[in-house]
Amino acid sequence: MTQFGFEMSDLISAVEKCVRTESVGLLVSTAQAVEELRVMSGDFVTSDEDLANAVSKAALRLGCSVVFDEQAGADILRMA
């Protein structure tokens, strides 16, 4: 099965590499997961929005909370 042209196994791998354990449980930053997916797949053409949507669906299937922080300079997730 593909999601936005990516295999679900690739999406899950990207999410698993970026998941953090926070007070809210498992937390995934779309900024980090999108960058991981780009490196894994070599896809630097697909929009950030499409990639964020794809990784968020995989993250939700894994029971993770998702932070949509896909913006310039959002590579570090800061929790209060």
pLDDT digits (tens, 9 = 90+) for 21-31: 866 688 999 99
Tokens found for residue 48: 């950030």
Query: Contact 79/43 with Cβ under 8 angstroms?
Result: no
Instruction: Work out the percent of the chain whose per-residue pLDDT is above 90.
Output: 30
DSSP assigned state of 8:
H
Paired residues of 62 in beta bridges? none
The tokens 């980090």 sit on which residue?
32
Strands lying side by side in the sheet with 65-67: 20-22, 25-29, 65-67
pLDDT given at position 37: 92
pLDDT tens digits, 46-71:
988 899 999 999 999 999 989 888 66
pLDDT at 42 over 80: yes
pLDDT given at position 80: 47
The tokens 């099965």 sit on which residue?
1
